[in-house]
Amino acid sequence: LSAYHFGEEHIHPWISSKNIAIHLQCFFYGLSVFALLFLANAPELVPLFGSNGFKIDIISWNYILTLPFIVIQFILAFGNTLQGKLKWTAFFILQLSLALLYWVFLEMDLLLGFLFYFILW
């Protein structure tokens, strides 16, 4: 639900009507934001998961999950743009926003990244 909400906040100003493809794009865009935050701060997640008894390679796991979210949201955004539901400028701004967010997340630790995104972005 949070992923959909944050994706919708990014996409809402750019659309005039919603359909299932726009709803899916909102969801996967929001998942991409969260995934990029976790990917940029994967080493900080290891102690959190380790303290709960999870024995997984969090960094490899994060790459495996992050890529599909980004690819799916890109395909949905591209398709919505081709169908005229999203303007090309919006498509490029949304994709550049993800790249910029990832760069910001790389420069901040996990908590500051959350604070930056939830409060300032």
- In this predicted model, what pLDDT tens digit does every residue of 52-96 receive, in sequence order? 665 556 556 666 777 888 899 999 999 999 988 889 999 999 999
Q: How far apart are the first and last CA of the chain?
A: 18
Global pTM reads 0.82
Q: Which domain does 16 fall in, by range?
A: 1-120
Closest CA to 110 of 44, 31, 57, 63: 44
pLDDT band at 112 (very low <50, low <70, confident <90, very high): very high
Total domain count, the chain: 1
Instruction: Name the average pLDDT for the chain.
Output: 84
What's the Cα-to-Cα distance from 117 to each of 10, 35, 121, rounded to whole Å? 12, 13, 5
